[in-house]
Amino acid sequence: MVDHVLIKNGRVIDPANNLDEVCDVLILDGKIAEIGRFNGAVAKSVERVIDATGKLVTPGLIDIHVHFREPGDEEEETIASGSAAAVAAGFTSVVCMPNTNPTIENETDIEYVHRKGRQARKTHVYAMGAITKKREGVELAEMGMMAEAGARGFTDDGHGVQDVSVMLRALKYARMFDRVVAQHCQDDRIVGQGVMNAGYYSTILGLPGMDALAEESMLWRDIQLIRKTGVRYHAQHISTAGSVELIRQAKKDSLPVTCEVTPHHLLLTEEMCAEYDTNYKVNPPLRSKKDVDALKGAIADGLVDALATDHAPHLQSEKELEFLAAPFGIASIECALGLYVKALIDPKILDWPGLIRLMTLNPARIIGIDKGTLGRGRQGDVTIIDPDAEWVVDVNKFVSKSRNCPYHGWKLRGKVDKTLVGGELRFEAD
Amino acid sequence: MSRILNIVERHTHHSSRRQHSMTMAIMRKGKQFRWQRKHLIGLRDLSAEEIHYILDTAQGFEQISTRSVKKAPPLRGKVVVNLFFEDSTRTRTSFALAASRLSADVVEFTMKNSSVSKGETLLDTARNLESMGVDIVVIRHNAAGAPKLLSRNINACVVNAGDGYCEHPTQALLDVYTIRQMKGSLEGLKIAIVGDISHSRVARSDMWAMTKLGAEVTLVGPPTLMPADVGRLPVNTSYSLDEVIEKVDVINMLRIQFERLGGNPFPSIREYSRYFGLTVERMQRAKPDIVVMHPGPINRGVEMESEVADGTNSVILRQVTNGLAVRMAVLFLVNQAAAETPA
């Protein structure tokens, strides 16, 4: 279905073109045709006119880190349910992580994710492939053929590549393809059986801790490998003050290193685990206030390239287990925007254009897709946001299949009003 | 001394006078105090007053074990289940005996290694127990926080008999009870807890109880067996038993839990004992009236030489005896609190 749409009178924010003004966006044949002021005649010629007065009109939001659990754990989430949740949260593109069952590790797997995404007809659904077969960190997965099939990068997410020689080989091999290699930085030997941040709270709660060093030592190691190989590298969900300093140095040295931060590492801290509520069990773990402040500082300093939810749905029955036994993960995609507003706009760390950049243009560049801007000729992926709308998170109203969300009951500001994908209205708030 | 005991008997035989008896029980140092917890999850949350109250209650129960008829009736008709997900001999036996001395029916429920893949979840187990109408669940679990999880999902009283390396409240209660017995009070005492602090729930519960009761606690062990951020705890730490041994009034030697030690935290048992073993030689440098404790079971020759374990300063067996009275007190109090709070 081809769509001609005119979005009128919104505050149009397009960081790629340094645009932030009240005007109209014209979409013809599903593509951005023009941004400016249009008269009534144009309005009559299009099929749909959207009045965006008082709203923000931004490039479609992009989340480069989601777990939609398909194939393998469809009772937790599917690509259909996950992308429906995503589009309701203003996202027009998402990148699924390969830690499914089986692992996304060859071109057929990548094509499977794409096909399920197309069938769902919600957001664009991309995938990263595994760096190593079965994410075991031993043998390289078929990176070349996955790249050909459209994989947006490679990661063993959920897990870091432990063996330095394997990681070095992966980075060297990845030189053949223009794809990012992403890492969940965590040294398994340091982390051991840890289930929360190592510190005062893990000590008094009697839970095995995950030392910040586990993240930082692998990130440090990888940065040295990037110095040698020069491959584009993306540090996923960095969570510690030490990681911020490593990223700062890497950027100072002009290395091709990017990083992302999740909403929970900006809003939640380790002491929230004190009641053994497994909704706060996440990997990397919630850290200290000092780390949260460092991450916010990093965003203020422009060191953080992208915001990503790490949406990680789990069954209620699994999250009802003992803290030690429950799985890691927070399902947060549906409240992402409001969480970022709370973490970054309310305390004046970012303004709206700054936030939109971290949710559109930058993530698009990391994964190498021609999106994240309202430039002429681009696909009509547009998100319309009511920046002042206040709402209360209610997990029971989630489109996602899962409810493992610690933000239930939180009052948030900033709500997605409409989401257009390729000029087609895919979500509209009631 | 037998105030509580009297109350217990009066309470059951003259239920009309219950109100009056309870008022008696809640008089401590002339101050009105009312025990209100139907769960005993940990000592971190308890006030000094609450801890003293349990100890005073235990003192009232101490006599029962020495009588020819070792039973009192306050839990008659009540069901206590020993829900143990981890091996235990003495704690389980002690709880079973304590419950039966209070005339409760005791059910043993042993499950090894709870995990979602190996069968029923803890909450499903809890729902089943609930359906059977149990009154008090005594739980030991390898996962810290399991008793709390259970207490949020069950109407019965929950008593923690050890969770992961979080807390073992009744062990610490019997430890402070024993110290109080030996020294009169914990106020101002210097106490060392020696060994594998990081994996020890006893160390944590002891630390909370002892510091709340006014003792100055020093944790002693190799840095590889100290928990994270130990500096933020209300205690001193030391890596040298030799420096500490001369100063302390009480020393609690933790068991090296070989089953919990991951990845070689010290080079050998020989070297561990060299630095952290309580030897006859070290005892010669200690205060003559030092109280030597151990939560058991002892690895003789590892944390303590046999001569010390069996020596005159050792109160290890007294601890076991006191454990019974303390556990009776805990069961009695949580049951009473449950009876007073509407479901």
Co-location of B66 and B30 in the same domain: yes
Query: Is A67's pLDDT higher than 80?
Result: yes
Co-location of B334 and B279 in the same domain: no
Co-location of B133 and B173 in the same domain: no
Mean pLDDT lowest among A204-213, A246-255, A268-277, B264-273: B264-273
| CA distance linking residue A407 with residue B213, whole number of Å | 39
Q: How far is B339 from chain A (nearest CA, A)?
A: 26
Q: Write the residue in A200, A321, A324 that is nearest to B164 by C-beta.
A: A324
Residue A301 sits at the chain B interface (C-beta within 8 Å): no
Query: Annotated catalytic residue: which of A211, A310, A381, A417?
Result: A310
Co-location of B115 and B96 in the same domain: yes
- In this prediction, residue A286 carries a pLDDT of 98
Q: Is the peptide bond before B297 cis (omega within 30 degrees of 0)?
A: yes
Decide which of A379 and A40 is more confident: A379
Q: How far is A406 from chain B (nearest CA, A)?
A: 17
Cβ proximity of A90 and A389 under 8 Å: no
Q: Write the residue in A203, A275, A320 that is nearest to B228 by C-beta.
A: A203
Q: For residue A277, which amino acid is it?
A: D
Query: Is B260's pLDDT higher than 50?
Result: yes
| CA distance linking residue A319 with residue A335, whole number of Å | 19
Concerning whether A310 is annotated as a catalytic residue, the answer is yes
ipTM for the complex shown: 0.89
Co-location of B197 and B147 in the same domain: no
C-alpha pair distances (Å), A333 with each of A395, A412, A415: 11, 14, 13
Nearest CA in chain B to A189: B263
- In this prediction, residue A345 carries a pLDDT of 98
Rg (CA), chain A: 21
Q: Does an H or E element contain A192, and which?
A: none
CATH no. for residue B147?
A: 3.40.50.1370
State the average pLDDT over residues B103-125: 76
**Pure H helices in chain B:** 3-13, 18-25, 48-61, 90-101, 122-132, 146-152, 169-183, 201-212, 241-245, 269-276, 280-285, 306-309, 316-340
pLDDT tens digits for range A310-366: 999 999 999 999 999 999 999 999 999 999 999 999 999 999 999 999 999 999 999
Q: For residue A198, which amino acid is it?
A: A
DSSP symbol at B304: B
pLDDT tens digits for range A217-252: 999 999 999 999 999 999 999 999 999 999 999 999
| CA distance linking residue A90 with residue A417, whole number of Å | 8
Co-location of B230 and B276 in the same domain: yes
| CA distance linking residue A124 with residue B275, whole number of Å | 63
| CA distance linking residue A66 with residue A98, whole number of Å | 10
Enumerate the residues of chain B whose CB falls inside 8 A of the CB of residue A198: 228-229
| CA distance linking residue A82 with residue A125, whole number of Å | 10
Cβ proximity of B212 and B205 under 8 Å: no
Residue with tokens 């005892």: B283
Cβ proximity of A110 and A125 under 8 Å: no
- In this prediction, residue A293 carries a pLDDT of 98
| CA distance linking residue A255 with residue A259, whole number of Å | 12
Average pLDDT of chain A is 97
- The answer to whether the CB atoms of A321 and B116 lie below 8 A apart is yes
DSSP symbol at B109: E
Can you give the residue range of the structural domain that contains B60?
A: 2-165+323-340
Angle between the N-to-C axes of helices B169-183 and B201-212, in degrees from 0 to 180, rounded to the nearest 10: 50
Residue A198 sits at the chain B interface (C-beta within 8 Å): yes
Query: Is A261's pLDDT higher than 60?
Result: yes
- Band (pLDDT 50/70/90 cuts) for residue B33 is confident
- Band (pLDDT 50/70/90 cuts) for residue B31 is low
Co-location of B110 and B202 in the same domain: no
Phi and psi, residue A125, nearest 5° = -115, 120
The tally of domains found in chain B comes to 2
- In this prediction, residue A47 carries a pLDDT of 84
Co-location of B23 and B38 in the same domain: yes
Co-location of B310 and B331 in the same domain: no
B236, β-bridge pairs: B218
Phi and psi, residue A163, nearest 5° = -80, 120
Query: Is B38's pLDDT higher than 60?
Result: yes
Co-location of B287 and B303 in the same domain: yes
Co-location of B16 and B161 in the same domain: yes
Phi and psi, residue B257, nearest 5° = -95, 90
pLDDT tens digits for range B211-223: 999 999 999 999 9
Q: How far is B166 from chain A (nearest CA, A)?
A: 4
Query: Is A429's pLDDT higher than 50?
Result: yes
Co-location of B135 and B175 in the same domain: no
DSSP symbol at A345: I
